Structure 1
Amino acid sequence: MKQLTDLQALINKAVDKLNFPKHPAELYDPISYILSLGGKRLRPALLLMACDLFGGDVESAVEPALAIEVFHNFTLMHDDIMDNAPLRRGQVTVHQKWNSNVAILSGDAMMVESNKLMMKVPDAILRRVMDVFNETATGVCEGQQIDMNFEHLDNVSIEEYINMIRLKTAVLLGGTLKIGAIIGGATPADAQLLYDFGVNLGIAFQLQDDILDVYGDPDKFGKQVGGDIISNKKTYLLIKALELAKDTQAVELNQWINAPQFDTQEKVAAVTDIYNQLQIRNYSEEAMQTYADKAFNALDHVNLPDERIQYLRLFADSLLVREY
């Protein structure tokens, strides 16, 4: 089995070799730019890992793995426009460096490029792979739209939130693993189990992200703690708090949500205190563990030797053990 770091290095090398036309520069330069910003390359590395798990040729899976990386960065480019984000991985976002129209069109070209790369799988599995890829891409778009819809809704249920993060975040992880498994020669049943593992792992990871936003150490988490509270982002924690809060707690929570002006530190402290009173962290961690257990249960049923399963289990453990 190849190590994750080796697979990430393989992807980095392949990304560096991607060649886009020189003209028109405004269309292709932004693609090279966003791909040059780096990142952990976990999703394409996972595709290679899944292929390797089933004894497939990792080198033959590099182009579809690149397709996943290009697609993922396409979604980031368009997300940054919708969020009006000034920075991506510490660098100026594409729409700020060029303009929104350029970023939209370059993102569209990335979606085309990702399809071209994905279609380089052998003809015998092309239909299966493209079905998974297209279903995954549609799900990501649906999840982003649902997330934007949440901004204008007063009431969002836990079930609706879980479905949103499943689509926006988790299906890409599941789809990536399933495509890698198909390329590696997995049976349809095993490929589906790996998909289920990835989706549930992705949900657990996002729930952990919600928890870390409130309770994480900013130096270790790498983001501003309390950012979700400041922006009234409908996370698992806020939705659960709105569900459980009664009387004065409910009044205070809604006052902070609806306050047009506020001191950010005061708001974060006050809302966090309400979360603590309602034991929201415990509820969130229980939900996260539920989806982690579902992920590991799916993995346990994959028809592979224990030592190969353990490799993926260790990866999942490392993903879900982040310091608070």
Structure 2
Amino acid sequence: MDISTLSDKINYTLSTLRYGENPAELYEPIRYIMSLGGKRIRPLLVLLAAKMYDEDVESALLPAAAVEVFHNFTLMHDDIMDKAPLRRGQQTVHEKWNANIAILSGDVMLVQAYQLLLGVEQDKLSQVLKLFSKTAADVCEGQQYDMNFEQREQVSIQEYIHMITLKTAVLLGFSLELGAVLQGAPAADAEHLRLFGNNIGIAFQLRDDLLDVYGDKDKFGKQVGGDILSDKKTFLMLTALEQANQEQLQTIVGWRSHTNESIAEEKVRAITQVYDQLNIRQQTEQQIELYFQKAIEHLDSVQVPEGQKAVIRGLALQLMERDS
């Protein structure tokens, strides 16, 4: 069973989910954000991990769907906090409706993620719910750190990595761990898969930071330069702040808080020029490779035949080489 077949199973399962009908303003935004697609990486990881221990992944489909519903809930709420206009090239929910509706619809998505997990086999249900609840809290902690950093002058690169670990990486790690747990994998394997996912997740977010500046808008699906425009303290920005000379530092600080749309392109161009002078792109790519190699070490430690790891190894490589 290849990735295409598994993806078809995920998409079909998601298409069968029923969120509710009335009031329409509560449920239509859920159908809208879920219809925007996306790579469905997290549910795919659930199934790929499950498949390493049993070819029959049918029982993992609804738990995998739960992870995707939860992920989209976080996106819906994050977009409100980030005041993001676009998600996957389309209007964000709070832009299409309003922030209050987006908050409530997201809340229902979180509830429904739990409901989808209730079908897990009874002997594994308690463990799965504990792992999921811990992951959900971690993601919220990561988002809070992200917002805290917006108000702080000084943020270290180490703090930033911790934040993206919580906000982004732990859900990838949980997805893999979940697939393993559902199929009764050894605890050590489940742990290695979790850490594989965490490190891939960090690399994935660093790639996202990189694409925000250097990506193609048509492929990226979000506003290129959005992090610069909103003065986000990304890995690129924090590395530049650490290494900038006085003139470069003045350029960065001078553009901070300039939010006028008429000079948006000029701001992105000026900050990107500083990044280019400091080789920030290359340094970010080196960090991506570092975390990718850490991830592969954990995958190598999983005690299943190498052939059963090939697809998940290939997917990890594909994620690291993505341009969107």
Cα distance in structure 1, aligned partners of 2:54 and 2:259: 57
1:259 Cα deviation from its structure 2 partner: 4.5
Indicate the residue corresponding to 1:72 in structure 2.
Answer: 71
When residues 27 and 227 of structure 1 are mapped into structure 2, their CA distance, relative to the original with a 3 A threshold, is closer
Indicate the residue corresponding to 2:243 in structure 1.
Answer: 244
Indicate the residue corresponding to 1:276 in structure 2.
Answer: 276
1:82 aligns with 2:81: yes
**Counterparts of residues 91-240 of structure 1 (less than 5 Å):** 91-240=90-239
When residues 252 and 24 of structure 1 are mapped into structure 2, their CA distance, relative to the original with a 3 A threshold, is closer
When residues 88 and 155 of structure 1 are mapped into structure 2, their CA distance, relative to the original with a 3 A threshold, is same
Cα offsets for 1:172-222 (capped at 9, x unmatched): 100011001111221110001000000100100111121222233444444
* Contact 2:87–2:222 (CA under 8 A) maintained in structure 1: no
Indicate the residue corresponding to 2:305 in structure 1.
Answer: 305
1:254 Cα deviation from its structure 2 partner: 1.6
Cα distance in structure 2, aligned partners of 1:275 and 1:19: 46
* Contact 1:57–1:184 (CA under 8 A) maintained in structure 2: no
**Counterparts of residues 5-24 of structure 1 (less than 5 Å):** 5-24=4-23
- TM-score with structure 1 setting the length: 0.93
Cα offsets for 1:213-250 (capped at 9, x unmatched): 22334444444433322222111111011111122222
Counterpart residue identity of residue 200, structure 2: L
Cα distance in structure 1, aligned partners of 2:241 and 2:47: 42
Indicate the residue corresponding to 2:266 in structure 1.
Answer: 266
When residues 155 and 120 of structure 1 are mapped into structure 2, their CA distance, relative to the original with a 3 A threshold, is same
- Unpaired runs of 5+ in structure 2? none
SS in 1 for 2:256: helix
When residues 242 and 189 of structure 1 are mapped into structure 2, their CA distance, relative to the original with a 3 A threshold, is same
When residues 182 and 273 of structure 1 are mapped into structure 2, their CA distance, relative to the original with a 3 A threshold, is same
* Contact 1:8–1:40 (CA under 8 A) maintained in structure 2: no
When residues 213 and 84 of structure 1 are mapped into structure 2, their CA distance, relative to the original with a 3 A threshold, is closer
Q: Is the deviation greater in 47-56 or in 150-159?
A: 47-56
Cα distance in structure 1, aligned partners of 2:136 and 2:223: 29
Counterpart residue identity of residue 286, structure 2: E
Q: CA RMSD in A?
A: 2.0
- Unpaired runs of 5+ in structure 1? none
* Contact 1:237–1:275 (CA under 8 A) maintained in structure 2: yes
SS in 1 for 2:151: coil
Indicate the residue corresponding to 2:52 in structure 1.
Answer: 53
Indicate the residue corresponding to 2:256 in structure 1.
Answer: 257
Q: Is the deviation greater in 274-283 or in 194-203?
A: 274-283
* Contact 1:95–1:102 (CA under 8 A) maintained in structure 2: yes
Cα offsets for 1:267-290 (capped at 9, x unmatched): 223222222222222221221111
Runs of 4+ in 1 over 4 A off after TM superposition: 258-262
Counterpart residue identity of residue 120, structure 2: V
Alignment coverage as a number of residue pairs = 323
- TM-score with structure 2 setting the length: 0.93
Indicate the residue corresponding to 1:39 in structure 2.
Answer: 38
When residues 61 and 194 of structure 1 are mapped into structure 2, their CA distance, relative to the original with a 3 A threshold, is same
1:148 Cα deviation from its structure 2 partner: 1.1
Of all paired residues, the percent bearing the same amino acid is: 54
1:316 aligns with 2:316: yes
Cα offsets for 1:19-41 (capped at 9, x unmatched): 23333333333322322222222
Q: Is the deviation greater in 142-151 or in 266-275?
A: 266-275
